[in-house]
Amino acid sequence: MISAGKTKLKAVAAVIAFTLAAGANAKVTDKDIINDQATTNDVVSNGLGPRGQRFSPLTLINTKTVKDMRPVWGFSLGGEKQRGQESQPVVKDGVMYITGSYSRVYAIDAITGDELWQYDARLPDGIMPCCDVINRGVALYDDLVIFGTLDAKLVALNNKTGKTVWKKKVEDYKAGYSITAAPIVVKGKVITGVSGGEFGIVGKIRAYDAKTGQIAWERPTVEGHMGYIWKNRKKMENGISGGEAGKTWTGDLWKSGGAAPWLGGTYDPEVDLLFFGTGNPAPWNSHLRPGDNYFSSSRLGIDPDTGKIKWHFQTTPHDGWDYDGVNELIPFNYKDGRKTVKAAATADRNGFFYVLNRENGDFIRGFPFVDKITWAKGLDDKGRPIFNEPVRPGNPALSKDGKKGSTVLAAPSFLGGKNWMPMAYSKDTGLFYVPSNEWEMDIWNEPTAYKKGAAYLGAGFTIKSINEDYIGVLRAIDPKTGKEVWNHKNYAPLWGGVLATAGNLVFMGNPEGYLMAFNAKTGEVEYKFNTGSGIVGSPITWKMNGEQYVSILSGWGGAVPLWGGEVAKRVKSFNQGGMVWTFKLPK
């Protein structure tokens, strides 16, 4: 719905402002999306291009000029829903589109910061988001603004009016499903995962015709469940095998196996594959489900035309710590002698950084990117972890009362060496810029059973800081050597995304509220600005009227204050908020 209380005069003014800002053509094409990283006048996709490298070739704001960068407008999301603003803005023809907490969408004049329209989803009372009421952004296609909701719907809005063009129920929110990630558009299909692994849902990825909302295919991410291709509206074809039920699961556990692809995906047109990560197997109590539990805690290479899984790489087989495997897999090329390697990199919650062959998923190399890992002794030559079995939480069935297994101290904590917050890759420096955290946890297992719509953990935990003076660490990492080139330590946990630019800068926000710019080669802090609330969103940059702009959402929230245990005390005084800040150099 469009927000109530808008006067007719304001509506007319908004339409005029939109027309002036957007011009005659505000449609986004497949070509626009594929070329997003190179076309600096717009940002039309999450990640500044389908590969998700989050790199901009703009140089007007650089290490010499960034000190003069100033805010030019701020936009308040309004109301009382000021928490957990994890959205990445997108910009097309002078109009910015963002999402806010509680499944809201805004269109904003990118020159003035004036609101053009607002959409508020009608959420039911029974939504069950695991990790705050956040949303990470929209997808643009044709004249549509498409996003997912906390009650597991996919909604397409007209980009000029904010009115609903189509709406699809992806899954049943009463079973614990929700959608928080920004969708991705590939070849005219809008593709989304689902959240809800803590409720024993079945993870799945779905593709819809972006213009009509007609479903194209569905790919469950738990072995044993079948995928489908919809050839037309009347005929449903069983086109994809889901694997053998129980092959890597025990009994019927695969029926509520989790493995939610809750973060969204990337796409590489060079090899024509989607890359999605999957979450934890359910329940957390790994003693209830012996086996590797495909395809949980994995990276998947998926055919965008059919949904078929072409390859998979499992980072934490038989996951017993909720390390997931959803973190973004970023395609990049590098030279090995005279050979060009088509690689992809990911920094996992389990504390290891992986470089894979993106054509077939083969392991190239892996190494720790955090200082403390206790659950595994290392990786073997195939990239499989060498488990440190004494650090697996104990089996409650072997305890005296059968109610609680032995407690272990495991590092990283389940919130991960890196969580959802996207890293960036600079083709100029050849480095990945990884927002990471140093923390550990006491974790133990408990008995549990699946019940629709109820929490399905079978575990308890307390998260602890490893160091007194910092938790967050922004790291510059060479994927060819595993070397950490520089780092920047932060008192609170880092929970927002990173942007790299050809101006030799890396932008990032922190929970203390600062937008910061670092020298991409040395890590020196070149710029700081306090936005007034913690930053858990992802920055963008674009060029308009000959000037370079930088925008970021500010608004503290997300999983840390909800799940952070002792660490939550460190951030308890941080104020919530809801603002978009936009910066440029003075004329």
Helix (H, G, I), strand (E, B) or coil at 506: strand
Nearest Cα to 25, choosing from 93, 103, 83?
93
pLDDT band at 240 (very low <50, low <70, confident <90, very high): low
Please report which helix (H) or strand (E) contains residue 342, including its range.
strand 339-347
- Res. 198: pLDDT tops 90: yes
Q: Give the tens place of pLDDT for each residue, 345-403.
A: 999 999 999 999 999 999 999 999 999 999 999 999 999 999 999 999 999 999 988 89
Output the pTM of the full model: 0.95
- Res. 24: pLDDT tops 60: no
Helix (H, G, I), strand (E, B) or coil at 30: helix
pLDDT band at 129 (very low <50, low <70, confident <90, very high): confident
pLDDT, the chain, mean: 93
Q: 41: which residues sit within 8 A by CB, 6+ positions away?
A: 542, 543, 544
Rounded CA-CA distance 308/207 in Å is: 12
Q: Is residue 51, in this structure, part of any structural domain at all?
A: yes
Q: Is residue 41, in this structure, part of any structural domain at all?
A: yes
Q: What angle do CA 126, 46, 220 make, to 5 degrees?
A: 55
CA torsion 476→35→495→554, rounded to 10°?
Answer: 120
Averaged pLDDT for residues 163-190? 97
Q: How far is CA 480 from CA 326, 385, 433, 500, 580, in A?
A: 22, 20, 14, 19, 36
Q: Which residues constitute the domain of residue 304?
A: 8-584
Nearest Cα to 112, choosing from 181, 20, 185, 226?
20
Averaged pLDDT for residues 409-430? 97
- Res. 80: pLDDT tops 90: no
Q: Is residue 497, in this structure, part of any structural domain at all?
A: yes
Q: Give the tens place of pLDDT for each residue, 522-534.
A: 999 999 999 999 9
Whether a cis peptide bond, with omega within 30° of 0, leads into 586 is: no
Rounded CA-CA distance 116/35 in Å is: 27
Rounded CA-CA distance 326/262 in Å is: 7
Q: What pLDDT score does 351 carry?
A: 98
pLDDT band at 239 (very low <50, low <70, confident <90, very high): low
- Res. 25: pLDDT tops 80: no
Q: What pLDDT score does 293 carry?
A: 96
Averaged pLDDT for residues 4-32? 56
Q: Is residue 2, in this structure, part of any structural domain at all?
A: no
Rounded CA-CA distance 422/307 in Å is: 24
Helix (H, G, I), strand (E, B) or coil at 432: strand
Q: Is residue 133, in this structure, part of any structural domain at all?
A: yes
pLDDT band at 250 (very low <50, low <70, confident <90, very high): confident
Q: Give the tens place of pLDDT for each residue, 300-336.
A: 999 999 999 999 999 999 999 999 999 999 999 999 9
Q: Give the tens place of pLDDT for each residue, 439-481.
A: 999 999 999 999 999 999 999 999 999 999 999 999 999 999 9
What distance lies between CA 493 and its chain's CA centroid? 16
The per-residue b/e assignment along 194-217, b for 16 or more CB within 10 angstroms, e otherwise, is bbbbbbbbbbbbbbbebbebebbb
Q: What is the CATH number of the domain that holds 92?
A: 2.140.10.10
Query: Higher-confidence residue: 563 or 41?
Result: 41
The identity of residue 427, as a single letter, is: K
- Res. 15: pLDDT tops 50: no
| 3-class secondary structure per residue, 445-493 | ECCCCCCCCCCCCCEEEEEEECCCCCCEEEEEECCCCCCEEEEEEECCC
Q: Is residue 183, in this structure, part of any structural domain at all?
A: yes
Query: Higher-confidence residue: 245 or 48?
Result: 48
Tokens matching residue 329? 């897999």
Q: What pLDDT score does 233 carry?
A: 56
Contact 131, 558 (CB under 8 A): yes
Q: Is residue 3, in this structure, part of any structural domain at all?
A: no
Nearest Cα to 100, choosing from 563, 553, 587, 571?
553
**Helical spans, DSSP H, in 162-223:** none
Tokens matching residue 474? 């922004």
Lowest mean pLDDT among 74-83, 88-97, 476-485: 74-83
Q: What pLDDT score does 7 carry?
A: 35
Q: Is residue 299, in this structure, part of any structural domain at all?
A: yes
% of the chain beyond a pLDDT of 70: 94
Averaged pLDDT for residues 218-234? 85
| CB-side neighbour CA atoms (13 Å) of 386 | 9
How many structural domains does the chain have? 1
Lowest mean pLDDT among 15-29, 55-69, 203-217, 261-275: 15-29
- Res. 234: pLDDT tops 80: no
Q: Which residues does the annotation mark as catalytic? A: 322
Contact 505, 54 (CB under 8 A): no
pLDDT band at 83 (very low <50, low <70, confident <90, very high): confident
Averaged pLDDT for residues 283-300? 96
